[in-house]
Structure 1
């Protein structure tokens, strides 16, 4: 049960991402300003960057190492999770739709999560 402590933040985050990405469309705040700055894409970027960061942190804290292969698998998994959520939005969620640009934002966020983790590891996790 000790292993749970390493992955609990990531697990909670991943479940929160699923919730946020599947709430009914009419409950999502909207304004011309948010549409102009593509707030939806910024949110996707942050959600999936956070997912990768927290998963990498959990693995690193548990094992005290993290290979490039593991980083790649985590980022690819997060990107596929984003793609799966888009299909959930298309077929299950109410008033939500599939948007490939959201998947792109998820993927770029996943890459940013790796970069952020590497910076944190370099500066604080020695």
Structure 2
């Protein structure tokens, strides 16, 4: 079987979810006021935690499907965390540069990263065979 096809078959859920996240990030927002870093919108951060948590979970699920095994090394966990965190950074950068009436936010990036890490940790606990 073609490796590229195998990769897509394994990670299709994570890829679709990542596209959905980008769609959400690109939707035109109302003109938002410049928010002080310490005035954090809790509901917004919970949404960021949730969508990136699901992404992290789906990435672990894809890894398990691709490798036909239920174990995963610390190195691979770190790679998944870095990939999800990089995607969170990309969404924030694009919001700051390309999407109308949207802005990049450090607190959103931190929530994205924490959500991805939590999703990966939860998936590891639920899906990965413990050694």
* Bin for the TM-score computed over the shorter chain: 0.7 to 0.9
List runs of 5+ in structure 1 lacking aligned partners: 28-34
Number of aligned pairs? 118
| Residue 14 (structure 1) aligned with residue 18 (structure 2) | yes
User: Cα deviation per residue 1:69-118 (whole Å; 9 max; x = unaligned)?
Assistant: 11111111111111111111111001101110001101110110122112
Alignment partner, residue 112 of structure 1: 118
Deviations 1:22-45 (A, max 9, x none): 111129xxxxxxx98621111111
Given candidates 38, 45, 48, the residue that maps to 2:42 is 38
Q: CA deviation at 1:122?
A: 5.1
Offset, 1:4: 2.8
TM-score (norm 1): 0.83
Q: CA deviation at 1:62?
A: 2.1
The root-mean-square deviation of aligned C-alpha atoms, in Å, is 2.4
Separation (CA, whole Å) in 1 of partners of 2:59 and 2:128: 17
Structure with greater proportional helix content: 1
SS of aligned partner of 1:57: helix
Contact 2:72 2:128 in 1 (8 A): no
Q: Against the structure 1 CA distance between its residues 36 and 48, is the aligned structure 2 distance closer, same or farther, given a 3 Å change threshold? A: closer
Where has structure 1 moved over 4 Å in runs of 4 or more?
A: none
1:32 maps to what in 2?
none
C-alpha separation in 2, matches of 1:11 and 1:60:
15
Q: TM-score, normalised by structure 2?
A: 0.80
Task: Please show how residues 69-84 of structure 1 align to structure 2 within 5 Å.
Answer: 69-84=75-90
CA gap 1:94/1:37 in 2 versus in 1, 3 angstroms: closer
Q: Which residue of 2 aligns with 1:68?
A: 74
